[in-house]
C-alpha cells in the first residue's frame, strides 16, 4: 500500500466535491453497466441489498459524501478521501475509525479490465455495498483496530485475512449456490467469472489459521478461495483472540504457494 502510485487522486473543491471529466464519467458508466450484469446470480444477496440501498449513479462517478450518507445511516461508517496508495498504518487507522479509504481517481481506459491499485470503482462498487451490513461492518472495524495495534510482522499475517475475506471471499449457505462477497472479485469482470466458474481454482472451507498462513499474489487470478457460510461468520471471528491466532500461524510458518514466483522486473 505504500509503493508509488501510477495515479493521482482528484482533490475535492471547497464544497467537498470532485469535478470529474466526461471521459472519467464515461468509464465509470461502462464499468458499472458491465459489472452490474456480470454479478447477477453470483453476488451474495447482502451485497445486492447494499448496492440498492446506496443507489450509486450509473452515469457518473459518485461523490464520496453521497455514499457516506447511506453508510452512516446504516452502520455508522463513511468513506474517506485518500491520495491514492497509503501506508498500512493509515489504512488501519481509517478502518479503526469506521472510515473506508477511497482514492478519487478513475482507471484509464487501457486498464479497464485489470488494475493493480484500487481506483474509485473498486472501492465504491466493490466494497461499500457490504459496509451496509452489520456483520461485515463489524468485522472490518475490528480488523482495523487490530491492525492499528499490531507490529509490522503481524500486519503481514493480518493482510492475508483481509485478502481472503474482504477482497476475495466466497460464501455458500447450506443448501444454496456459491456466492461472492469479496470486493476484489465483485469489482472485476474477469475475476467474477473466474471465481465463480473456474474448474482450476480451489475453493476451501474457511479455516482461520490456514488462511493466515496462505501466500497470495495480487497480479494473477487467484488459485485458491476460502468459503464461509454466512457473513455472521465474520462477526464471530471478532470474538476470537485473533492476534493469538496470528502468533500460532507465525509459529507454524507459511503454507506452500499454489502459484509460480513472480518474475523479476526487467533490467
Q: Tens of pLDDT along 29-61? A: 999 999 999 999 999 999 999 999 999 999 999
Higher pLDDT, 81 or 15: 81
Binding-site residues? 122, 127, 167
Task: Calculate ∠ Cα 130-96-106, nearest 5°.
Answer: 55
Burial (Cβ within 10 Å: 0-12, 13-18, ≥19) of residue 13:
exposed
C-alpha cell at 66: 453521497
Nearest to 236 by CA among 213, 205, 208: 208
Q: Which residues are catalytic?
A: 122, 127, 167, 187
Binding-site residues for Fe cation? 122, 127, 167
Kindly report, residue by residue over 152-209, the tens digit of the pLDDT: 999 999 999 999 999 999 999 999 999 999 999 999 999 999 999 999 999 999 999 9
Q: Please tell me the pTM assigned to this model.
A: 0.94
* Structure confidence at residue 2 (pLDDT): 47
- CATH code, 22-252: 1.10.800.10
Q: Calculate what percentage of the chain has a pLDDT beyond 70.
A: 97
C-alpha cell at 180: 461472492
Amino acid at each position: 500500500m505504500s509503493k508509488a502510485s501510477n495515479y493521482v487522486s482528484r482533490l475535492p473543491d471547497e464544497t467537498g466535491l470532485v469535478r470529474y471529466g466526461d471521459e472519467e464519467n464515461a468509464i465509470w458508466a461502462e464499468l458499472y453497466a458491465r459489472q452490474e450484469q456480470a454479478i447477477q446470480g453470483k453476488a451474495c444477496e447482502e451485497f445486492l441489498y447494499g448496492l440498492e440501498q446506496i443507489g450509486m449513479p450509473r452515469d457518473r462517478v459518485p461523490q464520496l459524501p453521497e455514499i457516506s450518507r447511506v453508510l452512516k445511516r446504516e452502520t455508522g461508517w463513511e468513506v474517506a478521501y485518500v491520495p491514492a496508495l497509503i501506508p498500512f498504518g493509515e489504512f488501519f487507522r481509517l478502518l479503526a475509525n469506521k472510515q473506508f479509504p477511497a482514492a478519487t481517481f478513475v482507471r484509464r481506459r487501457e486498464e479497464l479490465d485489470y488494475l493493480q491499485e484500487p481506483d474509485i470503482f473498486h472501492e465504491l462498487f466493490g466494497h461499500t455495498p457490504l459496509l451496509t451490513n452489520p456483520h461485515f461492518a463489524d468485522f472490518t472495524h475490528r480488523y482495523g483496530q487490530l491492525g492499528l495495534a499490531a507490529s509490522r510482522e503481524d500486519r503481514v499475517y493480518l493482510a492475508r485475512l483481509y485478502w481472503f475475506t474482504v477482497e476475495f471471499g466466497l460464501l455458500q449457505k447450506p443448501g444454496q449456490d456459491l456466492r461472492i462477497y469479496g470486493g476484489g472479485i465483485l469489482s472485476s469482470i474477469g475475476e467474477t467469472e473466474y471465481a465463480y466458474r473456474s474448474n482450476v481454482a480451489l475453493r476451501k472451507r474457511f479455516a482461520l489459521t490456514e488462511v493466515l498462513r496462505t501466500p497470495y499474489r495480487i497480479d494473477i487470478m487467484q488459485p485458491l478461495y476460502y468459503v464461509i457460510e454466512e457473513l455472521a461468520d465474520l462477526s464471530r471471528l471478532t470474538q476470537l483472540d485473533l492476534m493469538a491466532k496470528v502468533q500460532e500461524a507465525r509459529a507454524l510458518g507459511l503454507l506452500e504457494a499454489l502459484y509460480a514466483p513472480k518474475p523479476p522486473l526487467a533490467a
